[in-house]
Amino acid sequence: MKSTSVVRIFIFATPLLAISLLTGCASNAPNNVPNYAQQNSNTYSTPYQNNASNYGVIDAIQVIRPANNTSGGGAIVGGLIGGLLGNQVGNGNGRTAATVAGAVGGAMVGNSVEQNKNVRTSDQFQIQVRLDNGSYTTIVQDNIYDLRVGDRIRLINGQVNRY
């Protein structure tokens, strides 16, 4: 019984051992050519070529002023609240007039509140850059520090920096 299990293990393990030894010696290189000679000849490049898309010259700078757009939600909510409050005043035609006046006034106040909430505190700057590789890109950032049209720049993490 012992000899049968040893024979089975030997029969099973021998091909696995042979395959693992042979694959360890395998190589995809021709016999007489060293591995370093098989590198692609187009992989050599200078540092300037690799970074040509990161350097350029500023072509234009434009100031972007935020628009005070509203969705209308403030006016609707303000109109509803104003109408409800106006409905609490008076009776008969006076109540109707107060409801309408409250709705109109509330809509105006609600729209104004929404507009003030959306106002940004600062302008943004749109910078058009002609890159050294011949392409153009436009970057929008919160400030330009001392950047001017014609300055040589470098793009770092999507930001324009003087170079």
Alpha-carbon gap, residue 86 to 67, rounded angstroms: 32
Higher pLDDT, 67 or 55: 55
- Amino acid (1-letter code) at residue 130: R
pLDDT per position as a tens digit, 70-103: 778 888 888 888 888 888 887 888 888 888 888 8
pLDDT at 71: 77
* Tokens 């290189």 found at: 29
Q: What is the Cα 161 distance to its own chain's centre?
A: 19
In the chain, what are the domains?
Answer: 54-66+121-162 (2.40.50), 73-118 (no CATH)
pLDDT at 42: 40
The model's confidence at residue 47, banded by pLDDT at 50, 70 and 90, is very low
Give me the mean pLDDT over the 37-44 stretch.
39
Given a cut of 70, is residue 34 above it in pLDDT? no
Query: What's the farthest any 2 CA atoms get from each other in the chain?
Result: 111
Closest CA to 139 of 28, 59, 65: 59
Given a cut of 90, is residue 136 above it in pLDDT? yes
Percent of all residues in the chain with a pLDDT value above 70, rounded to a whole number? 62
Which whole-number Å values give the CA distances from 51 to 36, 48, 54, 89, 155, in the listed order?
A: 26, 5, 5, 72, 10
Q: How many helices (H) and strands (E) does the chain have?
A: 4, 5
Residue 147 near residue 160 (C-beta atoms within 8 A): yes
How many CA atoms lie less than 13 Å away from 111 in the CB half-sphere? 14
pLDDT at 38: 40
